[in-house]
Amino acid sequence: MIRKVKGTRDILPPETTLWNDVERTALRIFGGFGYSEIRLPLLEPTELFVRTVGEGTDIVSKEMYTFADRKGRSLTLRPEGTASVARAFIENGLGQRPQPLRLSYFGPMFRYEKAQRGRYRQFSQIGIELLGAATPAADVEVIVALHTFLAELGFDDLIIALNNLGDPEDRERFIAGLKTELTPHRDELCGDCQRRWEENPLRILDCKVQRCRELVAETTPVADVVSEDAARHVAAVEAGLQEASIPVRRAPRLVRGLDYYLRTVFEVISPELGEDTVICGGGRYDRLISDLGGAAVPGVGFAIGEDRLVDVLPQSFKDRALEQRIVAVLPVGGAAAAQATSLARDLVLSGVTAHTEVTGRSLKACLKWATKMAASVAVILGESERADGVALIRDLDRGEQETVALGDVVARVAELLQARR
């Protein structure tokens, strides 16, 4: 038997119903804020991620799925979405459109990392990007849109963890100070952090090894060494979120795992799920597009790991999404099959989920099948019913049955289902 690739998974019904409802909610909320969907290729030139995500990041150095195609070009299965959005912005001349440009995206990403529950080598992200606005108000809008979406899913205890990474010029000064403070303890750092010391010292702040975290906790926070402009920017973001009644707290060692972030970086955590459960995160990246050869276009956005999000959805949302009111359409006799399908189509167009029996079972077997399918109502169409222009509607929960004219079936089914709400 051929099995799935390690780190991937099959998402089966009814879980796919949750995914669909989450994505519909995202489209509705983000669309309401003015974000339009962009669909991006899974394959990108490897250089795109080396130049944007950062050669010293774990994503680029250890996690990317990279290969040469038949012409020897280095291609990578995208590990994240923002770099692809930036490439698309430049390549498609999106800077000619009215600014700021608001974009949303959905889809699979790929990273080679330890496969475990909630973390897969193929995973899905939902993200938005606001391009062309450098103001704190843009950061606030992005976070408010995110918070609104998560609240619509039923999360009611969310906190925005916020930090200030400053500008790239501030970062060099910070890194020099960080290495000075950590030098007496350099030998105590983990193997990954020993490598990061030379390649990308800022990533040391993101280490999950307990001893590294303890050492970092004693160092000067990056926000203490940023410029006055950067400090004012993030302070204004914090004030804007408080004005919007969104709980905020400073997280002085938060850096995220991507090199293009500057000034505002944030994560969303839920105390109910635990301090280490990060639902999503994002930040500002004002130099990303210019670093790729485009104009100086500021940007800010976030990405949500959809696998993790679905895993921690509030039960109230799951219950609503999985609540199905199924109608079973049961033709009895071969001559009724075509009319049963036509009737099912009418039910579907009215907004009802209709499952039609298509294997030629007996009426007794049909009703047993309808019960297994968790149908609430059965519409029975046999030879005599067809001749009389009627159908039998059976309330499977109450065991009650009535005869209804074919033209009235859709309306009567809707009444029965409405009574259950």
Q: Give the pLDDT band of residue 387 (cuts 50, 70, 90).
A: confident
Q: Give the pLDDT band of residue 421 (cuts 50, 70, 90).
A: low
Q: Taking residues 301-317, what's their average pLDDT?
A: 93
CATH 3.30.930.10 applies to domain 15-167+226-318: yes
Distance separating alpha carbons of residues 109 and 40, to the nearest angstrom: 11
Q: Taking residues 56-77, what's their average pLDDT?
A: 88
Residue with tokens 């199924």: 326
Residue percentage of the chain with pLDDT more than 90: 65
Q: Taking residues 304-332, what's their average pLDDT?
A: 90
Q: Taking residues 93-122, what's their average pLDDT?
A: 91
Q: How does pLDDT run across 324-372, given as a tens digit for each residue?
A: 789 999 999 878 888 899 999 999 999 899 999 999 999 999 999 999 9
256: pLDDT strictly greater than 80? no
Q: Taking residues 266-289, what's their average pLDDT?
A: 86
Domain range list for the chain: 15-167+226-318, 324-418
Residue with tokens 């030379």: 198
Distance separating alpha carbons of residues 212 and 206, to the nearest angstrom: 9
Q: Give the pLDDT band of residue 274 (cuts 50, 70, 90).
A: low
Question: b/e per residue, 192-216, with b = 16+ CB within 10 A?
Answer: bbebbbeebbbbbbbbeeeebeebb
Task: Kindly give the pairing relationship between strand 278-284 and strand 74-77.
Answer: unpaired
324-418 homologous superfamily: Anticodon-binding domain (3.40.50.800)
Q: Taking residues 212-232, what's their average pLDDT?
A: 89
Q: How does pLDDT run across 128-180, given as a tens digit for each residue?
A: 999 999 999 999 999 999 999 999 999 988 889 999 999 988 888 888 888 88
Distance separating alpha carbons of residues 306 and 106, to the nearest angstrom: 9
